[in-house]
Homo-oligomer: A and B are copies of this chain.
Amino acid sequence: MNSFGKALRVTTFGESHGAGIGCVIDGLPANLKVDYAKIKEWLDRRKPGQNKYSTSRKEKEEFEILSGVFEGFTTGTPLAIYIANSDHKSSDYGSIKDLFRPGHADATYFYKYGIRDYRGGGRSSARESVARVAAAGVASLMLEELNIVVKSGVSSVGNVDGKKYDFNHAKTSEIFSLDKSAEGAQKDKILEAKNSHDSVGGTVVISILNAPKGLGEPLYDKLDSRLAEVMMGINGAKGVEIGLGVNSSKVLGSKNNDLMDKSGFITNNAGGILGGISSGAEILVKVHFKPTPSIFHEQKTLDKDGNEVVCKLKGRHDPCIAIRGSVVAEAMAVLTIADMLLLNLGSKVEHLKKIYS
């Protein structure tokens, strides 16, 4: 339902045009120093309205920690975060309240619940992801203690593919592009779509370094399986790959197998995961996002009563959700690794002896 993770469990709440968005993080170890600036940094990276490549909705993204911290440290009790909504314009949505916007969850929420909050998509809005990012801001403090590094960037926009994964460049790029040489064409692609009142898809890459060997709980909480779950659960995601991914289905075993020598794995087609367990190699995940469904063309659709109508949208929307989606995907990776770190603590009886004696 609205929680994910097993040992580190995040529950989120809130709608796009409600009072605010929040989360409760449960299972955090005690004695983590809470660095407010770092959490803010996470929220700022995801923040809308920062340049012409994203929506013009401006949110302050000021967060409040409501519980779980005492004198600057986590206490082991649930840490709740709340972010008030500050720039929602519900008036934009009056005209669509009775119809189903193409590509959106309007129809399916109505089918499922018999009621929907039409203002900005309600609960199905990408706005909810602010809670995930805030939670990741907290969980990343735990990863830092163990020197685990998670990075993200955009590898392609529409059909403009970058050729390399330069995560340092992505940090400074307005569109988080992983390849400086492709960035210009990628930006053009976005503006072109925006200017023709359209939108465009894109692809995100996540890299995880220094994760301990042994993370992942086979057979049904495998690390790759859980990464696929959380990534496909991000709004607009339609494909997930681990390591060589789709291309591994096109090759021979003699090409795909990663051999080993003293230095470790010689290649990394597996993307750092074998049998659902981390191998010590870099963990690589790719997430493919569809184009933003909100476009400003006239589109044929139905209303709640089943009548054919034409949908003509107003509102402010990202022309390419993959851009800010990369921060959300990074957040989900952080939260998944944090959960797996906790779940793996009981893998061997030696661990229990270390802790309890």
Q: Tell me the chain A residues, 247-283 only, with Cβ under 8 Å from chain B.
A: 248-262, 266, 269-271, 273-280
A249 and B64 contact, Cβ closer than 8 Å, known pairs A75-B123, A198-B254, A275-B124: no
The 7 closest A-B pairs by CB, nearest first: A105-B275, A229-B229, A225-B233, A228-B232, A108-B277, A199-B253, A112-B214
A276, closest chain B residue (CB):
B233
Question: What sequence of 0s and 1s flags, for each residue 219-249 of chain A, a beta carbon within 8 Å of any chain B beta carbon?
Answer: 1111011111111110101111111111011
Q: A66-B19, A253-B293, A290-B249 are in contact. Are A122 and B220 (CB under 8 A)?
A: no
Say whether B3 contacts A67, CB under 8 Å.
no
User: Quick check: which of A46-54, A169-177, A179-187, A342-350 contacts chain B, the rest being far away?
Assistant: A342-350
Cross-chain contact B29 with A346 (CB below 8 angstroms):
yes
CA of A331 to CA of B29 in the docked complex: distance in angstroms?
Answer: 30
Task: Indicate whether A13 sits within 8 Å of B352 (C-beta atoms), given known contacts A240-B239, A242-B239, A262-B306.
Answer: no
Min Cβ gap A311→B in Å is 9
Residue of B nearest to A271 (CB): B238
Q: Are A349 and B31 in contact (CB-based, < 8 A)?
A: yes
Q: Are B67 and A250 in contact (CB under 8 A)?
A: no
| A270 neighbours in B (Cβ, 8 Å) | 103
The residue in A74, A124, A347 that gathers the most chain B C-beta atoms within 10 A of its C-beta is A347
> Does residue A289 face the partner (Cβ distance < 8 Å to B)?
yes
Interface size on A, residues (CB 8 A): 160
Which residues of the other chain, B, contact A348 by a CB distance below 8 angstroms? 29-31, 76, 113-114
Q: Which residues of B contact A238 (CB under 8 A)?
A: 224, 241-246, 248-249, 271
A117 within 8 A of B: yes
Residue contact B352 to A355, C-beta cutoff 8 Å = no
Cβ A357 vs Cβ B275 within 8 A: no
CB distance from A225 to the nearest CB of B (A): 3
Assess whether B232 is in contact with A19, with CB atoms less than 8 Å apart: no
Contact of A225 among B70, B232, B289, B297 (CB under 8 A): B232
Q: Are A249 and B349 in contact (CB under 8 A)?
A: no
How far is B263's CA from A190's CA once the two chains are assembled, in angstroms? 33
User: Would you give the shortest CB distance from A124 to chain B, in whole angstroms?
Assistant: 4
Q: How far is the CB of A63 from chain B (nearest CB, A)?
A: 13
Q: Are B280 and A111 in contact (CB under 8 A)?
A: yes
